[in-house]
């Protein structure tokens, strides 16, 4: 797993003098680093450059000064910027180079983004699941990474919509499991943290049921 220092050394060797700011978000600042976690980082550059890809780094690249603007006024050079990213950088983000950014925004922007993302992104995925799952035996194994993504991702949005707090996937799973203890969500959390938990179509079906409950809960 790459460290922030190693990643900045990689960039500095290829883009000397260009990287003027770097800020961590995601699992590294949400106490949710597990085996295989990416380094989630926003890089500020002094001019438009092509930042080389690095396996294990999930990077958004912006021009210097962009993090002092509302997210809606920023066009990234690479990666994606959202109100949730701005909120993380503003509250729990960790600056490893340059000045800490202000990332102006509102709680209403964050909530609106989360609500829209549940429908415009996640609902489309789960509607596809809905058509496939009935044809599969419940004990059929399913790919771990895919299931953890779809099983825990919507729970993060649900918690942020309800409370304004941004949490990692593991904590979101714990909170959703406390709300709906009849679903085997803690199996997903345990697997994410490295436990040898067989994940099956039954867990995928539970993830679909969880999504339906989340959607109902935030639209009541």
> What is the pLDDT at residue 220?
73
Q: What is the pLDDT of residues 8-32, one digit of tens each?
A: 999 999 999 999 999 999 999 999 9
H or E segment at 90?
helix 83-91
The contacts of residue 15 (CB under 8 Å, 6+ apart) are 45, 49, 51, 52
Domain spans, the chain: 4-97, 107-219
3-state helix, strand, coil in the chain (%, to 5): 55, 10, 35
Q: What is the pLDDT of residues 36-69, one digit of tens each?
A: 899 999 999 999 999 999 999 999 999 999 999 9
Q: Model's pTM, two decimal places? A: 0.93
| Long-range contact pairs involving 163-167 (C-beta distance under 8 Å, separation at least 24) | 164/107, 164/110, 164/111, 166/30, 166/84, 166/87, 166/88, 166/91, 166/92, 166/110, 167/30, 167/32
- State the CATH class of domain 4-97: alpha beta
> What is the pLDDT at residue 179?
98
Q: 133: number of CA atoms within 13 Å, CB side?
A: 18
pLDDT in 10s for each residue of the chain, 220 residues = 899 999 999 999 999 999 999 999 999 999 999 998 999 999 999 999 999 999 999 999 999 999 999 999 999 999 999 999 999 999 999 999 999 999 999 999 999 999 999 999 999 989 988 988 989 999 999 999 999 999 999 999 999 999 999 999 999 999 999 999 999 999 999 999 999 999 999 999 999 999 999 999 999 7
């Amino acid at each position: 797993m790459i460290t922030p220092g190693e990643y900045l050394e990689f960039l500095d060797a290829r883009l000397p003098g260009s990287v003027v700011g770097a800020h961590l978000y995601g699992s590294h600042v949400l106490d949710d680093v597990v085996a295989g976690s990416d380094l989630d980082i926003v890089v500020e550059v002094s001019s438009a450059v092509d930042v080389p890809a690095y396996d294990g780094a999930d990077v958004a690249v912006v021009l210097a000064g962009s993090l002092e603007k509302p997210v809606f006024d920023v066009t990234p050079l690479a990666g994606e910027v959202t109100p949730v990213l701005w909120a993380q950088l503003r509250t729990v983000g960790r600056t490893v180079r340059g000045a800490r950014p202000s990332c102006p925004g509102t709680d209403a922007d964050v909530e609106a983004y989360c609500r829209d993302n549940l429908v415009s992104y996640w609902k489309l995925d789960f509607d596809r699941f809905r058509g496939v799952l009935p044809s599969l035996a419940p004990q059929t194994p399913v790919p771990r990474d895919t299931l953890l993504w779809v099983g825990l991702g919507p729970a993060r949005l649900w918690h942020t919509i309800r409370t304004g707090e941004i949490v990692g996937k593991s904590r979101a799973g714990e909170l959703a499991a406390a709300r709906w203890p009849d679903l085997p969500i803690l199996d997903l959390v345990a697997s994410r943290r490295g436990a040898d938990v067989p994940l099956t179509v039954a867990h995928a079906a539970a993830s679909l049921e969880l999504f339906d409950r989340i959607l109902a809960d935030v639209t009541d």
